[in-house]
Chains A and B, each alone.
Chain A
């Protein structure tokens, strides 16, 4: 049962957030979404977020800056940065050994994303 786990998705495109919510809505997680880094940070401060997936390009900040702040304030949260420009193959995830941030290319494979969350929070 995943009832205690909180996921946060940050992307300025609502259709992308909808896909993410649809993907995880029946899995027993508490889901949070934000289209701006400032809103996402507010959610981080008020909820025990376990997993954050953020787009690289946000309206008010870069996703990497946002995740760097998350790393400082919530070091235990799993952080995933996603972008259409990463050189990561479809169906694969790369990890930055230094920061621990995971990289996922857009468009992602739904199964890869689901497995990643289960692996990290299971």
Chain B
């Protein structure tokens, strides 16, 4: 069932009022009629119509002035969205002025009652769509404000970087954590604020590539004043609406210095040392593997190489070269070194358990 729309029609001309009443006074509309601006304002206050039709030339004031009063009177603060249609005399209208004041539509006199009903319906539909859009933007704005307040109120530092590792945003807690103002942090390399610098960032990048996120990663940050600070980092990839990586989101939680024991510092140093070793091993081993693997592959492709025993031995070279490559790649992904006993009294890194 269609909702009843409340219409207020204000016109000093009794003939127009009677015509409007005949056209509108049926089930679809709940209509009120009056002949002056003051009476109209009182009815708006009392009845809150869905639409107001006001004649431009009322006996107590012009329709334009009545609308201005409506907009500025605090009584109507919650009703300012009500659409107004102004009735004008043909050829005596500054349309752009009236629209700029906020009128939803202009209807020239004389008009037929059919035209009046059509106008009211058009204005109500347009108004409903406009309010939907306004509500949508209002919801977006509120959500944005809310998220900004959440981020700014967070006790933990929040830092975002772009895909090049440059800082793009910090919240207030991050400014406190780094002892550095927002303006100085933006655009700087995130690795510049880590005690172990680029090599640690390289390790974190490898972990993120592998797992999409890093949680509870302990590290040492470098504050502007040179102090070192133990932190717990949770880092994830930020993606745009198409799923393309646009950078990282990092939440840093300061660890109480008493709790960030020497053991943790040593552990962090140990991880960094292993990662640095892994980088060196990757470079030192994978480069010589290129000619080993490449030459073996060449010989296997050579048509003259028909001796099956030689071919079997070449395949063994290729297989084991690839095994070495797999091991060096795993070394680069070590998160926390775990050791196991190799011989009695000698321990070795457990590569599988460490990644």
Contacts and interface: CB of A to CB of B under 8 A. Distances in A.
A32 interface: no
Given A84-B282, A84-B286, A87-B329, A110 B294 contact: yes
A86 B332 CA distance: 9
A103 to B, nearest CB: 11
Interface string B230-245: 0000000000000010
Contact of A84 (B163, B287, B291, B333): B287
With a 10 A CB-CB cut-off, give which of A83, A107, A108 has the most chain B CB atoms.
A107
Interface stretch (A13-21, A35-43, A72-80): A13-21
With a 10 A CB-CB cut-off, give which of A16, A22, A84, A98 has the most chain B CB atoms.
A84
Contacts, number: 68
A16 B289 contact: no
A87 B294 contact: no
Given A107-B293, A107-B321, A97 B244 contact: yes
A105 interface: yes
B290 A16 contact: yes
A13 B328 CA distance: 20
Contacts of B17: none
A90 B293 CA distance: 12
Interface of B: 163, 206, 209-210, 244, 279, 282-283, 285-287, 289-295, 297-298, 301, 321-322, 325, 328-329, 332-333
A19 B289 CA distance: 12
Contact of A106 (B244, B287, B297): B287
A70 B292 CA distance: 30
Contacts of A16: 287, 290-291, 294
Given A85-B332, A90-B325, A106 B294 contact: no
B73 to A, nearest CB: 57
B298 A106 contact: no
A57 interface: yes
A65 B286 CA distance: 21
Contacts of A87: 206, 209-210, 329, 332-333
Given A84-B287, A105-B325, 18 more contacts: A13-B287, A13-B291, A19-B291, A19-B295, A19-B298, A22-B298, A23-B298, A57-B283, A83-B283, A84-B328, A85-B282, A87-B329, A90-B322, A107-B293, A107-B294, A107-B321, A107-B325, A110-B294
Contact of A107 (B206, B244, B283, B289): B289
Q: Say what secondary structure dominates the interface of chain B.
A: helix
Contacts of B294: 16, 19, 22-23, 107-108, 110
Contact of B163 (A19, A57, A98): A98
A107 B292 contact: yes
B206 A106 contact: no
A106 B291 contact: no
A106 B286 CA distance: 6
Contacts of B295: 19
B273 to A, nearest CB: 16
Q: Which 5 residue pairs of A and B lie closest in terms of their CB atoms, listed nearest first? A: A84-B286, A19-B294, A107-B289, A15-B291, A106-B286
A16 B210 CA distance: 29
Nearest to A98: B163
Given A85-B283, A87-B332, A19 B244 contact: no
A8 to B, nearest CB: 17
Given A19-B291, A19-B294, A85-B279, A105 B286 contact: yes
Contacts of A13: 287, 290-291
Contacts of B325: 90, 105, 107
